[in-house]
Amino acid sequence: MVTESTIILPPNPDAGSQDAQYKLTVMVPKRRYLSYLRERWWVVVVFVALSVGTVLTYETVRSESYASSAQLYLSGESQVTVPNMFTEDSMNYFGTQVELLKSFRLQNAVFEALGVRLKPDAKSPVDVDVFQPLKTSILVVKASGSDLDLTQRFLQGLIQEYLSYKKDTRRSSSEDLLLSVNEQVAKKDKELQTEQDKWADFAKSNNVAVLEEEAKSAGLYLAQLNLDLAKLRLDCTLLEQGLSPATTASLTNVAASTLSGTNGIIGALGSNSFLTGSDAVLKSVRVELAVRRAERDELLKERGEIAVRRLSDEVAHLEKTVSFLEEQNLTQKRVELQENQKRIAAIESTIPSWEMKVLSLNDRLSQSQRYKNNIQREQGYYDHLLTTLQNVDLGKNIQQERLSVLQTATSARPVKRYLAIRIILAVLAGLFMSLGLVFGWYLLDDRFVSVRDIQDQFGEKILGLVPQIRIPRSKPERAVLQANDGRLAYAESYRHLRSALLLSSLGERRPQTLLFTGVAPAEGKTTVAVNLARLLARSGLRVALVDADVHGGGIKRLLAAQDQAGVLDYLRGEVEAKAILHRADDVAGLTFVPAGSHTDHAEGLFLRPRLAELMTELRVDQDFVILDGGPILASDDVALLVPHADAVVMVMRPFYTRSRLVRQALDMLYQRQARQVTIILNRARKDDLDGHYARNGLPQPSNNGAPVKA
């Protein structure tokens, strides 16, 4: 995931153009592993050498080993079985034989027979290995030891001891098996007799057929009682809700008389069937009453009260009939409800006794079935054991396996060491471990390896690459580029820097003041600044080289300069600007401004207005002003110089500069109003220089130079 943030610089009144925008891209380093591995090649060499040396040392120190082998053939069935009783699959069987041949008991017996006494916890002088070739019934026994004669005799004795042990074991196992089967038959016979006696005692007091019929009848009667109880409870529920079980005959007669008119209704009232009460009859009368009322109201509107008198009498009579029927129906429902409740109480009191009776019968039937099942199970076991005892043939069936020696112990021969294969494996192991170590180192290390790492992580322009050269630590001045320098690739790299500075687009106009800095000491910023200033001066430009690293003194060591008045003296007001400008003797057009003398009154000198005055005066008289500052994270004086520089040049060094520190340095530079930041990769590796500075037969830089502290 890539995180981007843009910092817009505030306007700088001292700058002649608009400030640029800075886009800082923060992401996981994408350094090339192969480049990292090339720099850590010695790790691979060390691990491979250690692995091969360990193998060679072991092969040299260890004594000669001799090996003898024999083969056993286990004929017969693939499974060792006793009919109807025991089985052992072939995989487990052969595994058992392997462990038996390797057991301490057999090996110790062989050593005693050979006259070799082993101390407790002592290592055996002969190692035994047993394996089974795939899908065969053959066991290969291999013995190896440092004594040629003992190894062969031990293997011969082990085979004989194994065969004797198997023979004795089979004999004792056959006798034990016969005794075990007889004991099991006797035990099962007693258990079968016990179960039969239990069944006989139960049958004396219980007739199973009668119990089954009684259980069936009782179950049916109990089911009928539960059904009747459910019906009565439903009737009670309907009566409580105001419904009555319909009487088909009553409904039919009353409905017919209702349809015949008023006289039919009166006749129905006098009948016994009507007096039984019915919701249907009551509803019919109510319907007839509603009809007569409607007719009466209609005649009343048309003819008057005299014409409808007879009809009014019928309505009154019907109203009395409805009232009578409602009372009669309610009484009938109450009677029926009481009768149903009595029946429910009687059935509920009867059901528990029948349930107990059914449960008792079922328990007795279950007990009889258990007795039968026990007798059948014990009878089956007893018959099985009798059959097994009758079929056992101790001379044939139990001793099925037939062991034979397919190949006796061979003469002991020296064991092949396969030295070439072991060396190859050691080399592969060393490569694997070293590559894993370098890869882990690569993941944990955030230092730059190549220019690709810088491009992947930061958006600043790369001004150029400076190759690595070989310089003695005691003579750092040899890093200074001379007029006719024979290090062609080294000189060509600075020419590329010069052309990049003069012709590349670094903002809207060519920068005049350059501030060289880094994130840590020994990155080579002073060397790059000095060589670039000297090359620009040789090109006919006026260049001022200012030693702004007041605590480092790198320019003084490179140029072998004397102590002179410089920047600090000018900022304290002790000298004028002309007094600190010193012309270089060997390069025309180059003016050197030393750091000056240190005193106790050096705090805050770069904050004084005289610094701006000095920079203005230098820019007026010079084409380029190159400031050699200290590391940005180590010196606050460099941060105070940033606003006075048109461009800041950060010098980085592969396998030295850390990306985390570079991010901190870039944040600090842009917070200090840096207009433009570019990068120079010093001591670049061969991977980054492929195709650079190699035209016209120019030699490539050496890759094993000592670091130059600047």
Question: What is the SS3 assignment for 537-598?
Answer: HHCCCCEEEEECCCCCCHHHHHHCCCCCCCHHHHHCCCCCHHHHCEECCCCCCEEEECCCCC
Dihedral in degrees, nearest 10, Cα atoms 55, 58, 62, 65: -20
Question: In this predicted structure, which of 171-180, 522-531, 605-614 has the lowest mean pLDDT?
Answer: 171-180
Residue 698 has pLDDT above 60, yes or no: no
- For 573-589, how does the pLDDT look when each residue is reduced to its tens digit (9 = 90+)? 888 988 889 888 888 89
- What is residue 506's predicted lDDT score, i.e. its pLDDT? 66
Is the per-residue pLDDT at 198 higher than 50? yes
Whether 311 has a pLDDT exceeding 70, the answer reads yes
pLDDT band of residue 284 (cuts 50, 70, 90) is: confident
Nearest Cα residue to 225 out of 349, 108, 43? 349
| Spatial distance between the Cα atoms of 99 and 73, rounded to a whole number of angstroms | 16
As beta bridge partners, residue 130 has 141
Give the pairing type, strands 66-75 and 138-145: antiparallel
Q: From the CA atom positions of the chain, what is the Rg in Å? A: 59
Strands 624-628 and 543-547: parallel
**Confidence bin at 202 (pLDDT 50/70/90):** confident
Residue scoring higher pLDDT (505 or 130): 130
pLDDT tens digits, one per residue of 444-455? 877 877 788 788
Residue 15 pLDDT level (bands cut at 50, 70, 90): very low
pLDDT at 381: 82
Task: Give the global pTM.
Answer: 0.48
- Asked if residue 683 has pLDDT above 50, the reply is yes
Choose the weakest-confidence range: 18-22, 151-155, 646-650: 18-22
Mean pLDDT lowest among 133-147, 393-407, 632-646: 393-407
**Residue with token string 């886009």:** 23
Place of tokens 């009566």: 239
With H, G, I as helix, E, B as strand and everything else as coil, classify residue 247: coil
Q: What percent of the chain has pLDDT over 90?
A: 16
- And the tokens for 480? 């200074």
Percent of the chain with pLDDT over 70: 79
| Mean pLDDT, the chain, whole residue set | 78
pLDDT-derived band of residue 278, with 50, 70 and 90 as boundaries? Answer: low
598: pLDDT strictly greater than 50: yes
Higher-confidence residue of 342 and 16: namely 342
Separation between Cα atoms, residue 562 and residue 547, nearest integer Å: 13
CB 257 within 8 A of CB 268: yes
SS3 669: helix
CA–CA dist 674, 506 (Å, integer): 13
Q: Which of 134-143, 186-195, 263-272 has the lowest mean pLDDT?
A: 263-272
Place of tokens 């039984």: 276
Kindly report, residue by residue over 342-362, the tens digit of the pLDDT.
888 888 888 898 889 889 888
pLDDT at 152 over 90: no
Q: What is the pLDDT of residues 603-628, one digit of tens each?
A: 778 888 889 999 999 999 899 999 99
**Does the pLDDT at position 263 exceed 50?**
no
**Residue 173 pLDDT:** 66
**567 neighbors 548 (Cβ within 8 angstroms):** yes
Q: Which has the higher per-residue pLDDT, 397 or 604?
A: 604
Question: 416-450 pLDDT, tens per residue?
Answer: 878 889 899 999 999 999 999 888 887 787 787 77
pLDDT exceeds cutoff 90 at 543: yes
In the three-class reduction of DSSP (H, G, I as helix; E, B as strand; rest coil), residue 14 is classed as: coil
Rounded Cα distance, 432 and 439, in Å = 11
From first CA to last CA, the distance across the chain in angstroms is: 37
CA dist., res. 514 & res. 464, Å (int)? 15
Average pLDDT over residues 463-475: 87
Q: Between 245 and 272, where is the model more confident?
A: 245
Separation CA 284–CA 681 (nearest Å): 115
**Does residue 548 carry a pLDDT above 50?**
yes
Q: How confident is the model at residue 591 (pLDDT cuts 50, 70, 90)?
A: very high
pLDDT band at 561 (very low <50, low <70, confident <90, very high): confident
Tell me, what's the pLDDT at 442? 77
Give residue 527's pLDDT.
Answer: 92
Instruction: Tell which residue, 557, 582, 586, has the closest CA to residue 569.
Output: 582
Q: In this predicted structure, what is the pLDDT of residue 303?
A: 66
Residue 507: predicted pLDDT = 64
Chain centroid to CA 35: how far?
A: 31
